[in-house]
Structure 1
Amino acid sequence: MSGGRLAREGALLAWFGARQRDLPWRRTRDPWSILVAELMLQQTQVARVLPRYEAFLAQWPTATACAAAPVGDIVTAWAGLGYNRRAVNLHRCARAVVADHDGALPVTLDGLLALPGIGPYTARAVLAFAHESDQVGVLDTNAARVLARWEGRSLKPKEAQAAADGAVPAGQGWAWNQAMLDLGATICRPRRPGRSGGPRCDDCPAMPWCTWAVDGRPEPDPAVGSAGVSGGQSVFEGSDRQGRGRLVDALRIAPVEPAHLAAAMGWPDDPARAERVARTLVADGLAVADADRTLRLPG
């Protein structure tokens, strides 16, 4: 192993050890608790997750408890987190864990990936953060941005995952992966032309080993378009996604009759759009339609 890699590992782990946040999901190695946290944190800020994470686990502390609950109750508890389909995915996953694994999450990558609603990121996060595996790199948009800049080039999907897996130091799976996520979220941030923020290279513990930084941060930024790096979310205001969210919020209170559907979704003058988007909620398992087309949360 090169001295440069050893120095980078030491610098990043020391940085993380000195500044890591005290978050509840970092104080547990319970696989179910880790899974709940990871699904809640996808595309949702930590501040919004904190109050709901512990409340959720207080009510459903195990996959078995979650599986026994109506999916509508899980969707109701998801209020404020957005991307409500994740609640349905978590419930489906819990039921599969109970049916196929006696209530305990699998301990292999293939076993986790076979569960409904569990993708490559979440499966590796469970292995790294619950089992402290040093065989998997947790590759979210933040870690992927760090790796592309370290390499100084855009990475293809298999390259990015291989780089993430290969970067984990022996015996440091938990700390290393947490450090990579934090580094990308707080220091190795995306460039924002005309806006504040952007990468804070002078504060980066790994800057001496970052090809892009050492080369003077030339354009194009290698992170742009690299595998795993988000290209930014689409506009939310006025989107179908906003209408979906409004309808789920309304359903958390009471069933919605057909005559009130368009108003509940914020499109009182466009009932055809409301009907079309509402059908996607039914298809995703977030709502069910009665015989008279009244929508309600699933039981």
Structure 2
Amino acid sequence: MPHPDLEKIHHDITAWYSANARDLPWRGPAADPWAVMVSEFMLQQTPVVRVRPVWESWMERWPTPAALAAEPVAEAVRAWGRLGYPRRALRLHAAAVVITDEHGGKVPGTEAELLALPGIGTYTAAAIACFAFKVPTVVVDTNIRRVHARLVSGRALPEQNQNAAELALAARLLPAAGPGDTVGTALANDWNIAVMELGALVCTARSPRCEDCPVLNQCAWIAAGRPEPHYKPKGQPWHGTDRQVRGAMMAVLRHSPGPVNREELLGAPDLAVVASKPRITVSARQGDPAHEAWVTLHALPALAEQRERALDSLLADGLAQQGATGIRLPR
């Protein structure tokens, strides 16, 4: 047993969740497996506050995998908006096509079947199986790893990269649920989402609210005197990176009704001149999303080689396509 008070910890954390869980639409009784799957794709490295409005628009437009699969992939990329990491939109669309063609339009319910879908890795397969199909499986994300590290291992942060020891610890902490054990299965599923929520709301990375923690008295990190992290976390930079340039180019492509010339994406021409050319799809009107996207792109202090690199990576990733008339979102 990884903790002497494990049964009490299970009770205290799941009871805390029952009283404090956020009211999120993909957790509600009306959320089907597709709704859960879309949320899991969108929530990867993206906070709930940014995901929720996009998820709601997405589900209204594409309430089933078949509805998304019937649309061009460019529409999925456009609808992804500014969530970031837009390759997720490509993969979600590809997964919807496979679900429609090979699973009768229904999201499959086993981890093995989920892992076979495009864009789904170990965590996402486990999360969908657990949250959509009530499979008592081990779910381990960054929030869960951090709670486990503090509560049981006495460390301020988990390892920088997930390892086998952390997975083994998560498996030992998961409430037992044998075949036909509905009570154990329910507790295992509640445990996964409850620990994840505790990490997101209370046991946060930078400023944990320990006074609000339901297992404060059982926490090994607190008992050890809150030792400092054994490494210094490094945030992901944005300004000046290829990711920033890629994002600005994607904004232009999303808001352009037609293809865009490569030179216009790579250069920084005068917008009044650009807007006067009929073959260029940028509007000079203030407040127009296309115009604002062009302004943002051309205002970046990016050297020519960085712009070339960013655009070539978009083409290589399938997020943009070069055609006879210019560059556009994938069809």
TM-score normalised over the length of structure 1: 0.88
Q: Paired residue for 1:210, among 219, 223, 228?
A: 219
1:272–1:180 distance in 2 versus 1, CA, 3 Å: same
Q: CA deviation at 1:143?
A: 0.8
Structure 1 residue 124: deviation in Å?
1.0
C-alpha contact (below 8 Å) 2:111/2:125 kept by paired residues = yes
**1:233-252 mapped onto 2 (5 Å cutoff):** 233-252=235-254
Q: Which residue of 202, 225, 248 corresponds with 1:187?
A: 202
Unaligned runs of 5+ in 1: 192-197, 226-230
Greater CA drift, 173-182 or 81-90: 173-182
Aligned to 2:135: 133
Match of 2:260 in 1: 256
- What per-residue deviation string (whole Å, max 9, x for no partner) do you get for residues 114-139 of structure 1? 211111121111011101222x2321
Residues 143, 204 of structure 2: 8 Å contact kept:
yes
Kindly indicate whether residue 14 of structure 2 is the aligned counterpart of residue 21 of structure 1.
no
Aligned-partner Cα distance in 1 for 2:323–2:239: 30
Structure 1 position 272 matched with structure 2 position 278? no
Contact 2:240 2:302 in 1 (8 A): no
**Could you list the runs of 5+ residues in structure 2 that have no partner in the other structure?**
176-183, 269-293
- Distance 1:42-1:9 versus aligned 2 partners, 3 A rule: same
> What does 1:137-152 align with in structure 2 at a 5 Å threshold?
137-149=138-150, 150-152=152-154
Q: Deviations over 1:150-185 (max 9, x none)?
A: 222556612222322332322223322221111111
Q: Distance in 2 between matches of 1:268 and 1:43?
A: 26
Distance in 1, matches of 2:310 and 2:4, equals: 56
Work out the CA distance in 2 between the residues paired with 1:283 and 1:200.
43
User: Is structure 2 residue 161 aligned with structure 1 residue 159?
Assistant: no
Q: Whose Rg is larger?
A: 2
Residue range with higher mean Cα deviation, 233-242 or 206-215 = 206-215
Q: How far does the alpha carbon of each residue in 1:189-248 deviate from its partner, in whole angstroms, 9 at most, with x for none?
A: 224xxxxxx222222112222212112112345xx59xxxxx443210111101111111
Identity %: 43
Q: Which sits farther off after the overlay, 136-145 or 167-176?
A: 167-176
Are 1:99 and 2:105 counterparts?
Answer: no
Q: State the one-letter code of the partner of 1:56.
A: W
Asked if 2 retains the 8 angstrom alpha-carbon contact of 1:29 and 1:131, the reply is no
What letter is aligned with 1:9? H
Q: 1:82, CA displacement in angstroms?
A: 1.5
* Displacement after TM superposition at 1:102 (Å): 2.3
Q: Contact conserved, 1:287 with 1:298, CA < 8 A, in 2? A: yes
Cα distance change, pair 165–68 in 1 and its aligned pair in 2 (3 A): farther
